[in-house]
Each structure stands twice: as C-alpha cells, then as structure tokens.
C-alpha cells in the first residue's frame, strides 16, 4: 500500500512541481511537504481532505487506501513502459481529466480502433 507521502510525491512529480510549488498550491510550507514525502509527518484527516479536493483526487487515493500497490503495478497486464507511464499519471488525475484524456486517446486512435475503442 502506498503511504500518504508516496501519493503526495507522486502527484507532485506528475504535475512537474517542486516541493515549494506544491506547498504554495496546498497552502503549507516546503518543510511540511518534505516531511510528508519522507513519512515523518501525516496530516489530520480534515487537512488531507482539503488537499485531496485541491488536487482533484479522491481522499482514499491520497491516503493510499484505494487498493493499488506497487505489487499491483508490477502485475499490470502490459509490459510497455509508455502504457505504464499513462497508467501512473492516470492514478493522480481527477475524473474530469481522465475523461479528457480518454477523448484525446479515442480521437488519436480512431483509425486503429474504429468503433471498437470502448
């Protein structure tokens, strides 16, 4: 199971943010982000919920309670690194961003999938 700190770091890196940028976005300090990422500190549930809302992710995902794990990622059915990268990025996306990504992919691969893309 991923920790809160693992998830914060994953989201931060997926967004291409520094610890300072993430801290500014969440309304905290760089030191707090660093402590989260190294599992030296965890927020109260109310703060974690605020972060989840700001980041556009489910609270259970942020807390690492969504059933995904490093082992599950290793069992991902495709060994293609590009597919794995898309999968990892998708985990941190909001539902709106996921839908947008699927529309882009479907349009991009229309010639290959025709009406079978779903």
Q: Residues 46-59: pLDDT tens digits? A: 999 999 889 888 88
CATH 1.10.260.40 domain position(s) in the chain = 4-62
The CATH class that applies to domain 4-62 reads: mainly alpha
Instruction: Check residues 83 and 24 and name the one with the higher pLDDT.
Output: 24
DSSP 8-state class, residue 114: G
Residue 103 and residue 17: Cα distance in Å, rounded?
25
Contact (Cβ atoms closer than 8 angstroms) between residue 54 and residue 26: yes
Task: Quote the pTM value.
Answer: 0.56
Helix axes 81-91, 4-14, angle to 10 degrees: 110
Specify the pLDDT at position 78.
Answer: 46
């Amino acid at each position: 199971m991923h920790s809160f700190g693992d998830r914060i770091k994953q989201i931060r890196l997926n967004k291409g943010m520094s610890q300072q940028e993430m801290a500014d976005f969440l309304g905290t300090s760089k030191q707090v982000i660093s402590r989260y990422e190294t599992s030296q500190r965890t927020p109260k549930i109310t703060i974690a919920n605020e972060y989840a809302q700001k980041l556009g992710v489910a609270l259970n995902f942020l807390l690492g309670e969504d059933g995904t794990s490093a082992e599950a990622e290793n069992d991902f059915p495709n060994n293609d690194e590009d597919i794995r990268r898309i999968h990892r990025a998708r985990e941190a996306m909001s539902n709106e961003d996921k839908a947008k990504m699927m529309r882009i992919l479907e349009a991009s691969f229309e010639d290959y999938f025709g009406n079978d893309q779903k």
